[in-house]
């Protein structure tokens, strides 16, 4: 079975779980529309592979979520709109969820929760009692705890997405992002994320920042 076929099944299961029954519009057109977005040519990191990885990590962390299927739908929408040169991708992705999910039979309150979670990926800083936000943010940022070769591939793909940005400007902007992440009290919020990913992610971030900003000392 192709990866996209498996993803269509996963979308249908999550949508059915959030709706509470199989009644409602066929999930297939909605999954197809989202997959088409995730396969747009400008993407190098924010691809179907990233979507799959985030969904896998949501499954891994599902016991920590209040509503895992809502988190799964938020994962589907969190980078559904992605243009590297635009700064409002998360907001536009949330608005896409707000339009599509009621049409797909999702109740108003759960649609609003999906959109809230998508918007939360701007800061990746969920509240202490926001279990669903913690799971989505941890799943999205888990790439930062990748082994060295996978982390290098991730950073290379991010650079490719921003190929239109001159090298000096990219180094400055990327360094600012890394410093912002390192300044967070914690990168991960679920017990699993804190135990398994926090230290490695900070090590990777500090190493990348050192490479981008030689001679500077990154935050601890």
d(CA 180, CA 172): 12
d(CA 79, CA 37): 9
Q: Domain 3-143 adopts which CATH fold?
A: Hypothetical protein af1432 (1.10.3210)
What does residue 119 show for φ and ψ, rounded to 5 degrees?
-65, -30
What is residue 143's predicted lDDT score, i.e. its pLDDT? 98
Domain boundaries, the chain: 3-143, 144-212
d(CA 125, CA 78): 15
What are the tens digits of pLDDT across the range 196-213?
999 999 999 999 999 998
H-type alpha helices, 64-162: 68-77, 89-103, 108-120, 131-141, 148-161
Q: Decide: 212 and 174 in contact? Cβ < 8 Å.
A: yes
pTM for the structure as a whole: 0.94
Residue 88 CB: number of other CB atoms within 10 A? 12
User: Long-range contact list for 197-204, CB < 8 A, 24+ apart?
Assistant: 197/138, 197/141, 197/142, 197/144, 197/145, 198/145, 200/144, 200/145, 201/141, 201/142, 201/144, 201/145, 204/144, 204/145, 204/146, 204/148, 204/151
Of the pLDDT bands very low, low, confident and very high (cuts 50, 70, 90), residue 43 is very high
Of the pLDDT bands very low, low, confident and very high (cuts 50, 70, 90), residue 87 is confident
What are the tens digits of pLDDT across the range 101-113?
999 999 999 999 9
Among 60-69, 77-86, 137-146, 211-220, which stretch is predicted with the lowest mean pLDDT? 211-220
What is residue 218's predicted lDDT score, i.e. its pLDDT? 42
What are the tens digits of pLDDT across the range 147-185?
999 999 999 999 999 999 999 999 999 999 999 999 999
71, burial (CB in 10 Å: exposed 0-12, middle 13-18, buried 19+): buried
């Amino acid at each position: 079975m192709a990866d996209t076929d498996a993803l269509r099944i996963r979308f249908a299961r999550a949508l059915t779980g959030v709706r509470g029954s199989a009644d409602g519009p066929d999930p297939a057109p909605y999954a197809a529309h989202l997959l088409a977005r995730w396969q747009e040519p400008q993407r190098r990191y924010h691809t179907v592979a990233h979507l799959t990885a985030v969904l896998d990590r949501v499954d891994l962390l599902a016991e920590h979520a209040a509503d895992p299927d809502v988190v799964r739908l938020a994962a589907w929408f969190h980078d559904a709109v992605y243009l590297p040169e635009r700064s409002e991708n998360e907001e536009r992705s949330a608005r896409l969820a707000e339009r599509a999910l009621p049409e797909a039979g999702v109740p108003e309150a759960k649609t609003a929760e999906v959109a809230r979670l998508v918007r939360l990926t701007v800061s990746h800083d969920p509240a202490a009692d926001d279990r669903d936000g913690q799971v989505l943010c941890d799943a999205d940022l888990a790439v930062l705890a990748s082994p060295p070769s996978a982390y290098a591939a991730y950073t290379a793909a991010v650079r490719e997405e921003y190929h239109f940005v001159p090298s000096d400007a990219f180094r400055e902007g990327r360094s600012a992002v890394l410093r912002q992440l390192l300044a967070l009290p914690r990168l991960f919020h679920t017990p699993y994320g804190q135990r398994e990913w926090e230290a490695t992610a900070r090590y990777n971030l500090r190493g990348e920042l050192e490479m981008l900003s030689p001679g500077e000392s990154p935050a601890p």
